[in-house]
Amino acid sequence: MLFFFLSACQEKENSEEHHSADVAHNVPVLNDPAQISRLIPSRVKDREVWAQDISRIMDELRISKTQENVCAIVAVIDQESNFVANPTVPGLGKKAINAFQTEVPQKFIKQFGPALGPAIARYFNYVLSNEPSQKNSFLKQIAQVKTEQQLDLIYRQLFNYVSKQFYADGIANAAAKLTGKDIGEQNNPITTIGSMQVSVRYAREQQRDNRSVNELRDYLYTREGGLYYGILRLMKYPAAYSQPLYRFADYNSGMYSSRNAAFQQNINKLLKHDMALDGDLLLYDKDGKAQPQISQTEMLINQLFADYGVSLTADQIRSDLLKEKQPQFEKTITYEQVKSLYQQQFGQAAPYAIMPQVVISGPKLSKDYNTNWYASNVNRRYTLCMRTAKGSRRR
18 pLDDT more than 70: no
| pLDDT tens-place string over residues 30-41 | 999 999 999 999
50 pLDDT more than 90: yes
Long-range contact pairs involving 77-81 (C-beta distance under 8 Å, separation at least 24): 77/50, 77/195, 77/196, 77/227, 77/230, 78/41, 78/381, 79/374, 79/377, 79/378, 79/381, 80/195, 80/196, 80/197, 80/230, 81/194, 81/195, 81/196, 81/197, 81/226
**Max avg pLDDT among 222-226, 286-290, 366-370:** 222-226
Average pLDDT over residues 54-60: 98
| Vertex 43 angle, CA 40 and 45, to 5° | 80
Nearest CA to 278 out of 355, 189, 207 is that of 355
Contact present, 392 and 35 (Cβ < 8 Å): yes
Band of residue 23 on the pLDDT scale cut at 50, 70, 90: very low
Alpha carbons 93 and 75: distance in angstroms, whole number: 28
For residue 390, how many other CB atoms are within 10 A of its CB?
Answer: 11
Q: What is the pLDDT of residue 165?
A: 64
**Per DSSP, what are the bridge partners of residue 29?**
66
Q: What is the pLDDT of residue 173?
A: 55
Average pLDDT over residues 193-217: 94
Strand extents, DSSP E, the chain: 192-193, 198-199, 359-360, 369-370
Contact present, 275 and 35 (Cβ < 8 Å): no
Give the rounded percent of residues in the chain with a pLDDT score beyond 70.
Answer: 85
- The domain spans of the chain are 4-87+195-238+374-394, 92-193, 255-346
Higher pLDDT, 35 or 107: 35
Contact present, 203 and 190 (Cβ < 8 Å): no
Q: Which residues contact 259 (CB under 8 A, 6 or more apart)?
A: 239, 241, 246, 279, 329, 330, 352, 353
pTM: 0.87
The overall average pLDDT reported for the chain is 87
Contact present, 355 and 258 (Cβ < 8 Å): yes
Least confident of 33-47, 86-100, 334-348, 379-393: 86-100
Least confident of 8-12, 214-218, 237-241, 312-316: 8-12
337 pLDDT more than 80: yes
Average pLDDT over residues 330-355: 98
Band of residue 199 on the pLDDT scale cut at 50, 70, 90: very high
Q: What is the pLDDT of residue 181?
A: 54
Band of residue 25 on the pLDDT scale cut at 50, 70, 90: low
Contact present, 227 and 56 (Cβ < 8 Å): no
117 pLDDT more than 50: yes
| pLDDT tens-place string over residues 149-191 | 999 999 888 888 877 664 445 555 555 544 445 667 877 888 8
Alpha carbons 345 and 340: distance in angstroms, whole number: 9
Alpha carbons 361 and 377: distance in angstroms, whole number: 16
